[in-house]
Amino acid sequence: MEVSSIGYLTSKIVVKEFLELKEKVIILKEDIVSLDEVNIMNPQQYVKFAFKNLKKNTVSSVHELKILNRFFAVEDDIAKFFVEHYLKIKDVGPRGGIDIRRIGILEGRKSADYRTYKDANIGRIYPVNFMAKIDPLRRGISIKDYKWTKIGDTSYDGEDIVIIQGVNQVQKRKNYLDPVLYIGIDSYKVYKTRNKASNVVYIYKKNTEGKLYLSYHNHYTKRFIDLTEEHQKILQTTNKQIKLSKRNEVIVLGIETDKKKIDVGNTYVHRTKMEDVKVNYNAQFWGTFNLPPPTDYYKKSIKELEANYGVAIDTQFELVNN
């Protein structure tokens, strides 16, 4: 078994030895990197080479990703509703542009719905489609429109990484989309991207051939809407507006590149919000499904959701989905 993460040394352990550990915890050692004294190229050159080598460095043939998608509807920074889907997608990576070839939703479940604004239109798009639409590697970047600066360095799996931030010099009002790219100085592989505010994140990992594919993603979007007098009374507030936002997390659980084994259904989700997709609830599936360890991103939102009325999330699942 191999465990790797940006900024840490890769750790390897035999599965049998790991299972025999009293505390099944793997501690990664930080990989201290400083490229200040290394003769690196102009930051813009790294970005150019990264995009030039994107097809070569990523899994660009047809493949299947198994995904756990977690969506939270949030009002005034408090999670009010949660939807979770297990799905498969058929894709070709960044070379496919902003479109996912096929999405097949297999399982789903919901929490109790504590929203005040249940039908607010803050984007009628399925989260995985939105993820592809805003991905800087998929939609492309007009490199010359940005000022590129090295803002740090780290490492991944033995390769030094330069962290480069682009600031748009043409559309300065859209600086929330200004990209930060984590680029290998030898391979020009893009191991991670995020925006300046770090509320849109993509992390990539290597397959057995050393090519990268999406491993993790999260994004956050928000908008403000005016409150009616009726809603002000319900919320017991004199505020004129409420902030509605979405938190979405995508965890890739596996990849299949053998075309004979790729099997992705076709769920129609065009211009459909995640909570509007009809999925039958399978208690046996969720009871036996090997969920990944909860991230801090997930734990924060679940804690807020449970605090609304003091109801544990598992209890909400039982009451709402049966």
Across the chain, which has 322 residues, the per-10-residue mean pLDDT values are 48 51 50 52 94 97 98 95 98 93 96 86 84 95 95 91 94 79 97 93 96 97 87 83 94 96 91 90 95 94 97 96 84
Other CB atoms within 10 A of residue 68 CB: 18
Stated length of the chain: 322
User: Cα 110 from chain centroid?
Assistant: 19
Same domain, 66 and 5: no
SS3 content of the chain, % helix, strand, coil (to 5): 25, 35, 40
Nearest to 198, CA basis, from 224, 172, 220, 169: 220
What is the model's pLDDT at position 232? 82
> In this structure, what token pair is assigned to residue 57?
């460095």
Rounded Cα gap, residues 83 and 113, in angstroms? 10
Same domain, 17 and 40: no
What is the model's pLDDT at position 20? 57
Same domain, 16 and 73: no
Rounded Cα gap, residues 302 and 312, in angstroms? 9
Contacting residues for 269 by C-beta, under 8 A, at least 6 apart? 103, 105, 126, 128, 129, 277
Same domain, 70 and 196: yes
For helices 313-321 and 296-307, angle between their N-to-C axes, nearest 10 degrees: 70
Rounded alpha-carbon distances, angstroms, from residue 254 to 63, 168, 230, 257, 292 = 11, 35, 47, 10, 12
What is the model's pLDDT at position 31? 45
Contacting residues for 27 by C-beta, under 8 A, at least 6 apart? none
For Cα atoms 143, 174, 147, give the angle at the middle one, nearest 5 degrees.
Answer: 35
> In this structure, what token pair is assigned to residue 2?
């191999």
Domain that holds residue 28: 1-32
What is the model's pLDDT at position 124? 80
Same domain, 7 and 111: no
What is the model's pLDDT at position 198? 87
Other CB atoms within 10 A of residue 116 CB: 14
What is the model's pLDDT at position 8? 43
Strands (E), 19-141: 63-75, 78-91, 102-110
Same domain, 313 and 226: yes
For Cα atoms 195, 196, 202, give the angle at the middle one, nearest 5 degrees.
Answer: 25
The total domain count for the chain is 2
Other CB atoms within 10 A of residue 58 CB: 21
Backbone angles phi, psi at 262, to 5 degrees: -70, 125
What is the model's pLDDT at position 12? 53
- Sign of torsion, CA 203 208 211 214? negative
Same domain, 239 and 227: yes
pTM, rounded to two decimals: 0.87
Rounded Cα gap, residues 219 and 118, in angstroms? 20
- Sign of torsion, CA 163 168 172 174? negative
Q: Which pairs with CB-CB distance under 8 Å and at least 24 residues apart come from 256-263?
A: 256/63, 256/64, 256/66, 257/59, 257/61, 257/63, 257/64, 257/207, 259/62, 261/64, 262/62, 262/63, 262/64, 262/90, 263/64, 263/88
Same domain, 83 and 13: no
Nearest to 47, CA basis, from 213, 203, 175, 185: 185
Same domain, 4 and 135: no
Same domain, 2 and 80: no
Same domain, 154 and 192: yes
Same domain, 159 and 169: yes
